[in-house]
């Protein structure tokens, strides 16, 4: 069975790839040409059944050329993404062709560390402490504990669960919000319809939802007005979940008092956005998943799914086509 | 039964104090005078059996007057401290008189949050991220995860266990070092004699030991030379555990690459210390326990122990006299 991967992706997989029986890699080289067993091969001569949208592809401009190749290679039945989101129109195009999509939970650990690290940096007054040090001032600051705070994790899935595990180890009470089922790691799981009535008790609210018609601008003026005064708001889902104009107005009323944002309605965030210089906004450039651990887990997930696909076993993290088409 | 407490301490205890049967508080007023049932009472007319070294006393200069009173009040059988340490010579004086001492674990949660927050601030490159934001630069930074790191917690007790719980929730492997017994929260517990041979595998080393003849200058040149290159060193125990001159030299060799220090050989840390301005040293002024939660837990512990003392039940966190006298 042939599988399409980037030459750089194959390099990071190393030995792992050769350990799966009867897999022939078709390598997408940096110049856009293809090779099989070290020799060039024309596009019309390949028959890959699966492909990996590896990080090196997703993070480069070559992604457009790669995706064009995937869409024009009729043999492809399965695409493994390295991202969690599937709201990009490309994925709907794949789904409409009957191609199966598996998304990635490889970034969950990194994002959970980002959330805890960002909240702790504020609670622990890290910047103020460093300022005191730079002034050689021996002046202790009293800080706020995560212990006994209440968290709401909206759209609790892989990322939300990893966040819940860590927040609860600190003694936080975690309310997960989920359309169906219950989170195994939250203290309680509620439905979206019950979210507004519970917002007022939460010290930290984290958006981890996928973006779709139901979730677009979920964070609006009414939502923020229902928050607890002084609360912290974190968005590591999608920028479209939040009405940024409403958020800026809400920050003036301390509901929330602080916004930790990794995603934005327009990315890169335009320099003229008032968010950049707002004293109560912490900005990272859609980078919460970038860590030393994410690429390793992404490789492991692809190899696990490739082995499963080759054997005809169920795939991990398969996203139903209807969900993908609905999100676009 | 009479109990000696500061007027401010009694205020924070509020209702809690009146709920313990047959306890009469002797209040130590801010001007150093004493009152019983609202009326002044001379020092020679009081018979308190227990006393609370509450935070307001410990953090003020009145502590000397208060301790003098305790040492000259022969009826006192038990002292509840609000600190974890018992190496101050005062405690040895109390122990030699046969007075029982209970120390406090109320600060453990706060200190554990400080340790995780401080390590995460570095791993997450919080300061660099904020600098990028201040320059409106949309540039993602790859960070280091706590997941799959190895931690050594030296002198693992209440503080170390709370730290271990949190680090392990992040996927760290925790080695506890303890003279006797095993930590219920570390992945493994080793003896001090085995510490040096395991240092080289640890990404984070945390000192939480009490200060005594065995632990003084435990962090010396040989110790740091045995660390893993690039490791993070945290001292929230006592300044005397570390030879600061050796630490400064060790930082130049990246063993450790970073030192997070809340305690120092001389406190306040003299302005001429090279630690203040060192780029790889993070300094807080013996303040890791200062949080909104610590005073509440300290009150709860005192009330729990007061009720136990009144009934003749065993006290929580009683420190054996020999240990106190040995530490001084």
Question: Could you please report the per-residue DSSP string of B59-119?
Answer: TSTTHHHHHHHHHT-TT--EEE-SSS---SHHHHHHHHTT-EEE---TTHHHHHHHHHHHH
Task: Provide the mean pLDDT of chain A.
Answer: 95
Q: How many CA atoms lie within 13 A of A124 on its CB side?
A: 28
Using a CB–CB cutoff of 8 Å, tell me whether A270 touches chain B: no
pLDDT score for A277: 98
Minimal CA separation from B42 to chain A, in Å: 36
Q: Which residues of A touch B291 (CB under 8 A)?
A: 142-145
Confidence at A305, pLDDT banded by 50, 70, 90: very high
Q: Does A276 touch chain B (CB under 8 A)?
A: yes
Q: B311: which residues sit within 8 A by CB, 6+ positions away?
A: none
Same fold, A2-106+293-320 and A108-283: yes
Q: How much is the average pLDDT of A86-99?
A: 90
Confidence of residue A89 (pLDDT cuts 50, 70, 90): confident
3-state secondary structure at position B5: strand
Mean pLDDT by 10 residues, chain B (328 residues): 95 86 92 95 96 92 91 96 87 93 96 98 98 97 98 97 98 97 98 98 97 96 98 98 98 98 98 98 97 94 95 95 83
Axis-axis angle for helices B89-96, B63-71 (nearest 10): 20
Residue B328: its pLDDT value, please? Answer: 64
pLDDT value at position B285?
98
| Partners of A26 in beta bridges | A4, A36
Q: What is the CATH number of domain B108-283?
A: 3.40.50.720
- pLDDT score for A221: 98
Instruction: Count the neighbouring beta carbons within 10 Å of the beta carbon of residue A232.
Output: 24
Fold of A2-106+293-320: Rossmann fold (3.40.50)
**Pairing mode, strands B258-261 and A150-154:** unpaired
- Is A169 within 8 Å of chain B by CB? yes
Taking only residues 293 to 322 of chain A, the set having a beta carbon closer than 8 angstroms to any beta carbon of chain B reads 293
Q: Is B63 on the interface with A (CB under 8 A)?
A: no
pLDDT of residue B273: 98
Q: Which residues make beta-bridge pairs with B205?
A: B152, B233
Domain segments of chain B as ranges: 2-106+293-320, 108-283
B166 close to A (CB below 8 A): yes
Q: What DSSP element (H or E) covers B39?
A: strand B39-40
pLDDT at A328: 64
Q: How many C-alpha atoms does A147 have within 13 Å on its Cβ side?
A: 22
CA distance to partner chain A, nearest, from residue B133 (Å): 6
Beta carbons of B290 and A140 less than 8 Å apart = yes
Candidates A251, A221, A232, A238; CA nearest to A152 is: A232
Residue among A109, A123, A269 whose CB faces B147 most closely: A109
Q: Render pLDDT for A252-304 as a digit per residue (tens, 0 to 9).
A: 999 999 999 999 999 999 999 999 999 999 999 999 999 999 999 999 999 99
pLDDT value of residue B234: 98
CB A103 within 8 A of CB A86: yes
Q: How far is B76 from chain A (nearest CA, A)?
A: 32
């Amino acid at each position: 069975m042939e599988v399409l991967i980037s030459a750089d992706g194959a390099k990071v997989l190393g030995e792992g790839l050769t350990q799966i029986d009867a897999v022939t890699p078709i390598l997408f080289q940096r110049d856009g040409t293809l090779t099989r067993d070290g020799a060039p091969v024309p596009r019309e001569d390949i028959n890959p059944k699966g492909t990996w949208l590896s990080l090196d592809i997703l993070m480069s401009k070559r992604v457009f050329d790669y995706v064009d190749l995937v869409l024009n290679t009729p043999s492809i039945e399965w695409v493994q993404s390295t991202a969690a989101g599937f709201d990009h129109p490309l994925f709907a195009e794949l789904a409409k062709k009957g191609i199966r999509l598996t998304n990635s939970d490889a970034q969950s650990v990194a994002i959970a560390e980002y959330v805890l690290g960002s909240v702790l940096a504020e609670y622990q007054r890290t910047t103020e402490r460093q300022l005191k040090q730079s002034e050689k001032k021996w002046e202790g600051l009293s800080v706020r504990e995560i212990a006994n705070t209440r968290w709401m994790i909206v759209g609790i899935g892989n990322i939300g669960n990893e966040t819940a595990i860590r927040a609860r180890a600190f003694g936080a009470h975690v309310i997960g919000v989920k359309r169906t089922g219950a989170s195994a790691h939250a203290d309680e799981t509620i439905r979206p319809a019950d979210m507004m009535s519970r917002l007022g008790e939460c010290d930290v609210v984290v958006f981890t939802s996928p973006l779709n018609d139901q979730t677009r601008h979920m964070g609006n003026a009414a939502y923020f007005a229902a928050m607890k005064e002084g609360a912290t708001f974190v968005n590591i889902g999608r920028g479209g979940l939040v009405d940024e104009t409403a958020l800026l107005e809400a920050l003036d009323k301390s509901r929330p008092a602080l916004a930790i944002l990794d995603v934005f309605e327009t990315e890169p965030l335009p320099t003229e956005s008032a968010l950049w210089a707002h004293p109560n906004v912490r900005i990272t450039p859609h980078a919460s998943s970038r860590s030393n651990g994410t690429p390793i887990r992404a490789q492991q997930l692809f190899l696990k799914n490739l082995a499963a696909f080759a054997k005809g076993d169920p795939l991990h993290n398969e996203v139903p086509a209807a969900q993908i088409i609905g999100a676009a």
